[in-house]
Amino acid sequence: MESMFRVEVDERVLKEAERWFKEAQTKKLLEFLKALEEHPIPSGFDIRRVKGIEIKGMQAYALRIGKYRVFYGVNWKENKIYVAKIEPRGRAYKR
């Protein structure tokens, strides 16, 4: 049996979703957060590894929801996931 992942969501993620997302996008985000408990890269979602960025020292990934990106980090050894932020596509990858 595959081990479960502990998912921590930064409080600003839900605030940003509330401000920017349409109802369908919010539903997709909630489905994604639930799916993360089973696997850090759940199938059925548009996810990419983000090179050159770490989130709290973890490998970074980005989920595409419409014109937004949801950034999260995965600690594979400790089965921990930290969902850090939502950014509009235009500024998501700027440093």
Per-residue pLDDT of the chain (95 residues; tens, 9 = 90+): 456 999 999 999 999 999 999 999 999 999 999 999 999 999 999 999 999 999 999 999 999 999 999 999 999 999 999 999 999 987 655 55
What integer pLDDT is reported at residue 37 of this predicted model? Answer: 95
Tokens 């992942």 map to which residue? Answer: 5
Hey, what amino acid is at 3?
S
Q: Which two tokens stand for residue 37?
A: 């408990």
What integer pLDDT is reported at residue 8 of this predicted model? Answer: 97
pTM listed for this prediction = 0.90
Q: Do the bridges between strand 47-55 and strand 80-88 make them parallel or antiparallel, or are there none, so unpaired?
A: unpaired
